[in-house]
Structure 1
Amino acid sequence: MQKIILTLVLATLCLNFTANAQDKTTNINALKIGDIIPEAIWNMPLLVVNHPQGKKTITLNDYKGKLIILDFWDKYCGSCIAAMPRMAALQKQFEKELIIINVTTDRAEDAKKCLTTNKMLEPLNLSSVVEAKVLSQAFPHRTIPHYIWINKNKIFISQAAAGAILPMNVTKILRDSLPDWQEKVDIDTKKPLFLGDKVPSNVELTSYSIFIKGRVSGLFTGNGVTYGVSPQRDVFYSNQPLSIIYQRLAAKLIPHMGDEKIILELPKEDDFSDQGKRYTFQYVAPANQATFLFQNALSALNMASGYNGRIESRKTKYYTLIRTGNDDRLKSKGGEPVNRFDKDSSVLINCPLRFFIIHLNGDNLLGSFVLDKTGYTGKVDIILKNPLADVSSLNKELAAYGLLLATADEPVNRFVIYKYSSVSNTYHQKQ
């Protein structure tokens, strides 16, 4: 079982702490591990698309006597789709004893389109239960993929993590032996991680920080916000490489940075950039410190991670967007806003010029970041017919709008990572 290291920093507790209850729209009760599947669910007709025999509905009872794995997915879940070929191979390996049923709450037409047009899924000829609100209520979950194991005796035996979907574990289940695996813990990200309802109801959690080393099953991979208030009070990065977490924070502190790489001043053998290692970090600021949220979050991350990320002025080659004259050739003529940047063309209609800068920096298209020195604050119309990666071609088109991308080579704020030694209280410089 993967080792998970938790570092908790709990601050003052006072007043009230509230949480949102999960909405329930029907009388279907959530099932627990060990429950026998109720007859109402076992025999319920389930709408299905792309069935190999052309069926419009199936029931769980159609597969009685088999091990059933319900694979919850949706069309936007990249990790769900990426896992489906492996699941299909597992199904083929145990086709007489196992049935894997794909389940989604997506509309029938949307699910079918994904199954039949996605380049990864189309060759697999997969079917799926669709519009499955009842199954989602019977087996509630916050993240997908989500796997429900039901044995041949109709018992809900596990919601094991994705890493447990292995041939050896299927074999053990078929032999009536429960594998030693990690159950997926469905974590409510609208509450402070791993505290949930443990905070007494008569107090308020005013500040909180947690740093986790290791992938947490039950958490999505990405960014989130726990407190839906303004101004923003928390940052939350889950199941991501440490370098990406620092990158995301750096982009908040240095807006022009975009995906410009952070500077690493680390020993050669350091594994800071290892994309295989995953971390989760959450920081909740006191309400009166929301203005300094990202600065304080960085301090908390530095304290927990063993690294020190900071802003330094470094001489850097970059681009500045400037105006070449005083005549206004940018002003929008109005109309429906369009903000579209494709591989070979770009259209910006009735939008701020900063959208153009954000796109250039977000994809690091020019190999370095761009600073907006135009001072232009109005809405603009810009239509570019060539790829954005070629500065020379781009400048030829920008000239029609009185714009120019100029090169610069001067000190500018950059984000730098050092290895911090708590023993010597010094930074390890790159050798």
Structure 2
Amino acid sequence: MTNFIQKNISKTFKLLQGCLGNLHFRAYQNLCLTLLTLCFSLFSYVEAWSQDGTSALRPGVLELKVGDALPEDLWNLSLTVINHPEGKQTIRLADYKNKPIILDFWATWCPGCITSLQNLDTIQRELPNEVVIIPITNDNVQKAEAFIKERGWQLPTVVNNSILQEYFPHKYIPHYIWVNQEGIIEAITGAEPVNRANIKTVIDGRNLDVANKIDLLSFDSKKPLFIDGNGGSGTAIKYRSLFSEAIPGLFQTISSVISDTINHTSRIYGINCRALTLYSLAYQKLQSFPEERIEYEIKDSAKRALFVTTKDGQTSKNHLFTYELITPLNASDKVRERVGVDLQHFFGLSARFERRLIDCYVLTALPTLKHAFSKGGERKDNLFGEQNEEKYIQNQTIDFLSGYLNEILPLAVVDEMSYRGTLDLKFPQPDIQNLKPLQEALRKQGISLEKGNREIEFFIISDN
């Protein structure tokens, strides 16, 4: 193809010289320069085409696989060679029919290829009539010849032949095609199975039991693994930590630690979650922890905004995250510890439970509490009903009352009551400016609500 273009360019220049002899020298020079540029572009295109191994030159070429017979057009394909012991410039695979053939795709820049090819050159000298080893390289002729000569190799090497790349597409080298005496592809492998024992197996006509090499031709190392199938579906992942933006079309979901004993992995995830919800994956107690006992000691306003809602109570889509962790099979607490480490690295924040001494209200039981023991019946209340009406709880626990008080009182409420049964209580609407009516009503029913100082557990998220 290249020789054809060169000959025609030469003829075109001679024709131009004859036809344009009367042109002004500058015009003639500019025309020649334009033609040279066009020719250079054509050469560059042909070279890139050859390196890509595209099948556009041979639309009928089909990828050959293990078990396929070599087609006649491949047997008779003229292959350009260097380093041939008889000085030949071309060979055909048909020249070696009825012998085992090993095609070795290699390059001068590939250390593994060089080590293996050195060994194959030795084996070929030992078995000159039993097997045919044909190295194939895309390196240019001068570079390949100098490289082979320096090492004293005797193997003839195929150069400048993209058609073989089309029959045997691959992404990584060394790449070996094993063809048996019947012209059937016995195996396609990497370097590891290429040894005397396996070569002798093929020579003896026995089946070659080796792992076949499969290259993912569409793999792009510049793109993330397993996204859009880049590298496969990801079903064999053993460890992965993933953060992303919200996934449209999915609701907020969090999981427990999921143990897969078949694949020996543990998995936990949170989909379309606020940052604080992700922290509840690492610190499970947060899932029922009072929000008023969560402190944000974060100076960066952008980071702080991740944990607070807008004035209308909505969370920005930019503040929702999706997270997934897959680890080797492990205990749930160990998996959650790993989630905590991931969150620290991703958000650049530290998190911890910490006990702090604070002013608070303390609920304690009085001897008369037995009079408030519930008489049973339906569990109900009106704590969040209309303002200024008398409040009541029926057949509810003290936790229900302390949770309500924690929401409306200016200080935290600490429950120090030992009673864990249910209660029937009545009391006036709490007034944070004057708590005496509430305190007196609760006291009459056996409950003390007084100010005090206590160490209370808080969850702290702070700058590192």
Which bin holds the TM-score, normalised by the shorter protein?
0.3 to 0.5
**Greater relative contact order (Cα 8 A, min sep 6): structure 1 or 2?**
1
TM-score, with length taken from structure 1: 0.41
Is the radius of gyration larger for structure 1 or structure 2?
A: 2
TM-score, with length taken from structure 2: 0.38
